[in-house]
Structure 1
């Protein structure tokens, strides 16, 4: 009994310490970001990284979402036996792969393609494509999990009424899984917004300016924070970093909030459509 109480006190103490430290850092960053925030700073210094981050998120999620949903459907409904286990393990490994490895993979593709096409270079397109591989497991696993939770009775009734496998997937499995899929997409957006290693090797640069096209280099908030914090020379640049962190935290916080509220968002959307 004493051991249980000691264990409870110990774990609760660790929880309180970690929560306090995290909250202190979080509040400090928000305070410094709001204190130094002004619209001239955003429009002049931070607009290019913000624009690049938004485009990076949109492109990477656009690449990953259809492939992730299709792969999740295939693994859940078509793959069988050892091959299914291999696919499951492969995506689990991919989910735990350090982002620097994905960045090196993208950089290798860049070098190979540059040998065939001299004008091919690091770009927003290549960075988004590489980042799509990083976030792909989130959408695949979310799709699988959502489809696996469909009651077997619903599926059996559909088959007994003469529905084909494709009809069962489109009319039963995917509608039931949509909440999980949306959560997976929101989580992928949050993950793609804050990564530095992948984009650092595949297209992001410092002080490039506004994006010309998806085949040109770009700026992004994670790399801007990393590069500026390593090279700042005065307090004004340091204060700019805090504002950039504020924007990046806002993006992550918004989508983490949407993950938690996705059930209500979907139900309200149904009511509105009616």
Structure 2
């Protein structure tokens, strides 16, 4: 789930604190920590709702497969969903471990940050980014997308956000604050991401797109859905979250034990409501 980094210590609310939270793309160490267990990440992270994929694919003419560039493709979750819908997909991923996992699933992936990646004359019908655009400089990213898209092509950046039941939120908050008081992420955003934290990311992305020559007015799509987790499935996914990927194993075990006990107390499973929010814009034909 997307979280907004804070300076080490995370307690000050001065101007530098606010500016750091507003620029998660500058925290490369966390952005590239997810590859520590790429197989688990691929196995446990949620997919994206079918209506989102269908809406992206609907831009195609039908005569030729939609050519899609998947930015920050990770293990290829988005790429495989788009490929199953008939698209030709190329991934760009800065973490070689994640790219290798994507390739193992048949996804073509080039290793680079999007800011430094060169299209080498290639153009695409769509540029997408699932759970990744906040790790990219929004201004440089929008400009690179404009260069990469054909006229009429679409940029779509999207995020899955969830809300845990209140008892699990309480357990998770307490465990994180006890074992990781100096975590470089906003614990509130990590535990209660909801739509508010995602909206901040979406607004920042839309502002940068709006200021980029070549795009029409950005719009926002929203898709509501839910998913039921068993205790083991949720704890397995938790190990891929940005806070836990950088903690020592004994602290990870402590957090998981506390959250696991809370899930056991509610019968061993829970249902989480999800929202997928997408910011999207079309490249002007006359740009």
Structure showing greater Rg: 1
TM over 0.5: no
Structure with the higher strand share, 1 or 2: 2
Structure with the higher helix share, 1 or 2: 1
Q: TM-score, normalised by structure 2?
A: 0.25
